[in-house]
């Protein structure tokens, strides 16, 4: 049976009548103006007995318990809907986690804005569900080199742009395009005081202009850290990076065959992680970070797997290093996926996720040096636990939701 696809978007740019603390670099970086609006872009995928909404938000990230609250609001009006909220991880949007306020003791989250944000994401997901139409899809990948680098391990890079485009069933008219590239949206760097989605803004604009259809942009295994390698840190550099990606996506999709009536399957897998990170513990004690822990002091997070025809999308709860990301793509392909996509910061932001063999916690996490990623990770277990989650998802050791059979 042909899947049905719907789309809706809304602006989530905060107003500047109150201080807006920009997330991703240092504390007390206050927004002065809006360069380009921030959005939630919701893509609804509906099968016979399965509904999944993917919402891309121009934010640094969202904690799992906050995403669950949004999902419950959606399910109250659309029972059985599965919601995936994936952040673009822009470093020029409002603090939605709590770490970038004016000082070490003050959360940077504007609670009034955050409440409105949650309502807006839920309402946008519901609007996407209200406007669905039959769709086929095409998928492609394109190597895009020279615009990103791995600042931690220069020899390990994933420079693959992943592209999925939904087209009107029985035809070729684009309905929506999803692009994923593994690089931090931080071309503009730490002295930028303007709200922006960075290179994603022009990437989406190029594709939307050419296809007359909306475009969602997300990030893959961007840990490491995968950072832009543009000549400078101006808006012109961010525009150029996005244009390169957008043009590469259009070229790749132009030669991709259409897959009629793609099957739709979805799995979710939750698991626990010890919160070993001293900085995270201090941040929780100071009231900067929130969210429940179990009796043993562990947090619960999740990963999920979406199959769309011969494409597989692995949704990951943080910033995965490319060494692991490349392993995950290999695992997806070995499991039969012709197109293997990784989406980071999906339904949670637990920080960096490293291979256990590469994890060296710094002696002084306040001055981590070459081991910054370890200082912003839950701990050494994060990588092995996510790998185990993917193995479980591929093996079917959890509930399967199918467009053809419902939950089995």
**CA-to-CA distance for 339 and 389, rounded, in angstroms?**
20
**CA-to-CA distance for 291 and 63, rounded, in angstroms?**
7
pLDDT at 267 over 60: yes
- Whether 304 is covered by a domain: the verdict is no
- Whether 350 is covered by a domain: the verdict is no
What's the pTM value of the predicted model, to 2 decimals? 0.95
| CA distances from residue 94 to 39, 99, 113, 379 in whole angstroms, order as listed | 12, 11, 9, 26
DSSP state of 105: T
Q: Report residue 270 as tokens.
A: 């939750």
- Whether 9 is covered by a domain: the verdict is yes
- Whether 384 is covered by a domain: the verdict is no
Q: What is the Cα 353 distance to its own chain's centre?
A: 14
Task: List pLDDT tens digits, range 345-403.
Answer: 999 999 999 999 999 999 999 899 999 999 999 999 999 999 999 999 999 855 555 44
The whole-chain average pLDDT of the chain stands at 95
- Whether 311 is covered by a domain: the verdict is no
For 127-137, what is the mean pLDDT?
96
Which of 276, 292, 310, 281 lies closest to 382, judged by CA? 276
The percent of residues above 90 in pLDDT, for the chain, comes to 91
Cβ contact 163:179 at 8 Å: yes
**95: CATH:** 3.30.230
Domain extent at residue 84: 3-129
Task: List pLDDT tens digits, range 21-46.
Answer: 999 999 999 999 999 999 999 999 99
- Whether 75 is covered by a domain: the verdict is yes
pLDDT at 408 over 90: no
- Whether 149 is covered by a domain: the verdict is no
Cβ contact 93:76 at 8 Å: no
For 315-344, what is the mean pLDDT?
97
**CA-to-CA distance for 289 and 25, rounded, in angstroms?**
16
CA pseudo-torsion sign 317, 319, 324, 328: positive
CA-based end-to-end distance of the chain = 18
What total number of domains does the chain contain?
A: 1
Residues linked to residue 30 through DSSP beta bridges, in sequence order: 21
- Whether 286 is covered by a domain: the verdict is no
Residues linked to residue 181 through DSSP beta bridges, in sequence order: 219
């Amino acid at each position: 049976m042909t899947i049905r696809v719907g789309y809706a978007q809304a602006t989530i740019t905060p107003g500047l009548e109150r201080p807006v603390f920009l997330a991703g670099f240092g504390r007390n970086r206050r927004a002065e103006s809006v360069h380009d609006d921030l959005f939630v872009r919701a893509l609804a995928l509906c099968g016979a007995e399965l509904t999944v909404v993917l919402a891309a938000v121009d934010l640094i990230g969202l904690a799992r318990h906050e995403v669950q609250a949004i999902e419950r609001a959606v399910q109250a009006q659309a029972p059985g809907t599965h919601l995936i909220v994936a952040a673009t991880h822009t470093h020029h949007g409002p603090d939605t986690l709590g770490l970038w306020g004016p000082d070490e003791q003050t959360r940077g989250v504007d609670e009034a804005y955050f409440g409105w944000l949650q309502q807006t994401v839920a309402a946008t997901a519901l609007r996407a569900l209200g406007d669905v139409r039959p769709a086929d899809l095409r998928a492609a990948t394109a190597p895009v080199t020279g615009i990103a680098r791995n600042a931690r391990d220069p020899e390990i890079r994933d420079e693959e742009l992943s592209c999925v485009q939904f087209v009107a069933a029985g035809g070729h008219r684009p309905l929506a395009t999803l692009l994923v590239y593994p690089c931090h949206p931080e071309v503009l760097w730490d002295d930028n005081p303007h709200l922006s989605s960075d290179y994603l803004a022009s990437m989406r604009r190029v594709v939307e202009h050419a296809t007359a259809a909306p475009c969602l942009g997300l990030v893959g295994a961007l840990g490491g850290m995968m950072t832009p390698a543009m000549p400078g840190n101006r808006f012109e550099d961010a525009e150029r990076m996005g244009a390169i990606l957008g043009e590469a996506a259009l070229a790749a999709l132009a030669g991709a065959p259409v897959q009629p009536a793609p099957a739709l399957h979805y799995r979710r897998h939750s698991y626990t992680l010890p919160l070993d990170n001293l900085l995270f513990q201090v941040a929780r004690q100071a009231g900067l970070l929130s969210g429940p822990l179990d009796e043993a002091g562990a947090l619960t997070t999740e990963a999920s797997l979406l199959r769309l025809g011969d494409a597989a999308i692995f949704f990951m709860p943080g910033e995965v290093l490319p060494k692991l990301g490349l392993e995950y793509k290999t695992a997806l392909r070995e499991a039969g996926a012709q197109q293997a996509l990784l989406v980071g910061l999906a339904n949670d932001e637990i920080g960096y996720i490293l291979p256990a063999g590469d994890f060296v916690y710094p002696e002084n996490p306040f001055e981590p040096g070459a081991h910054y990623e370890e200082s912003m990770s839950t701990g050494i277990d994060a990588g092995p636990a996510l790998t185990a989650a993917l193995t479980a998802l591929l093996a079917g050791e959890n509930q399967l939701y199918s467009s053809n059979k419902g939950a089995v």
